[in-house]
Amino acid sequence: MRSSGIKRKRGGQKGHKGYGRKRPVRVDEEKRIYLEKCPDCDCRLNRSNTTKSHTVENIPGIEESTVKAVRYHTEVQWCPKCKKVER
């Protein structure tokens, strides 16, 4: 704590350059994920071409030396009964 008694907010401070983990250069596998039925009403969901993507890097233990990167494409789907978007 500073001598003036003012605490800084958690996280990056204004004016500082952001830092994050870089995306992997090579993706080993790509998977498309979707739901068959709505988790709330059990109604069949309408499929779409709209996706949201994220990449996961599986870092192995000591005995293995290769990192495997998997990119998941999650479909944004619509429930006609609940009138909600499922992601």
Best CA proximity match to 70, nearest among 32, 40, 42:
32
Q: Count how many domains the chain has.
A: 1
Range of 35's domain? 29-86
Q: How far from each other are the two terminal CA atoms of the chain, in whole angstroms?
A: 42
pLDDT digits (tens, 9 = 90+) for 15-63: 888 878 888 888 999 999 988 888 888 888 888 888 899 898 888 777 7
Q: Model pTM? A: 0.65
Does a structural domain hold residue 1? no
> Does the residue 50 lie in any domain?
yes
- Whether 19 and 11 have beta carbons less than 8 Å apart is answered as no
Q: Rounded distance, CA 76 to CA 9, Å?
A: 34
| pLDDT on residue 63 | 75
Domain contains 14: no
- Does any domain span residue 78? yes
Whether 23 maps to a domain, the answer reads: no
Separation of alpha carbons 7 and 11, rounded Å: 12
Considering the domain boundaries, does residue 6 fall inside one?
no
> Does residue 64 belong to any structural domain of this protein?
yes
